[in-house]
Amino acid sequence: MSDAPDHTPYGPLPTGGTVRPMTRWGTPVMHRPQQLVTVFDETLHALAADMVATMYAADGVGLAGCQVGEDVAIFVFDCPDADGQRWAGVVCNPVLTLPEGKDRQLDETEEGCLSFPGAFVACARPDRATVTGVGLDGAPVTFTGDGLLARCLQHETDHTLGTVFGDRLPTKLRKKLDKEQAKTADEYPPEWPVDG
């Protein structure tokens, strides 16, 4: 999945970044709302490039700034929708909109998180989602999707708000997730996915 789509509504993902170690659940930056982006400069572009490189190195479909230890409300993604069409983008200061009433259908597909690697459990989320925000240049962006893309948009926006998907699980499923992660912990050393 290292070949990002050339044409997204808002241009290709930034390239040339450096893979960083994945910040894990339990680290304070993962559990607090992130600072809004107010300056759209080379530093922000470099962060996004590092996030893209780290996401691909970890075989992920999305990554938020807090997952590389940065207190910044930004995420990157390269993810298929329910029809298999790939979407990619960068969203700063995301705002999530979900279906309501009769339009709200839950998808209970398994979910995982690169910051709690190796563990997956079912997590009910609406099957469609829209995220609005701004891109790396400060211009408005909007992404709407279903399937895995809808889940990704919700998951990554949650990260910018200080929520990990484990927070959304009932106690029984959270315990199952913790056990799964403990079994695979040796496969994900502290520097993962650097040199992974």
Q: Please list the active-site residues.
A: 156
Q: Tell me, what DSSP letter sits at residue 187?
A: G
Locate all alpha helices (DSSP H) within 104-170, ordered by sequence. Answer: 147-160
CB proximity list for 83: less than 8 A, separation 6 or greater: 147
Amino acid at 102: K
Residue found under tokens 């839950």: 106
Cβ pair 134, 141 in contact under 8 A: yes
Task: State the burial class of residue 131 (Cβ atoms within 10 Å of its Cβ: 0-12, 13-18, 19+).
Answer: buried
The helix (H) or strand (E) run that includes residue 53 is helix 42-57
Place of tokens 């450096």: 18
Rounded Cα distance between 78 and 118, Å, is 20
Quote the DSSP letter at residue 136: T
* Burial class, 178, CB count within 10 angstroms (exposed 0-12 / middle 13-18 / buried 19+): middle
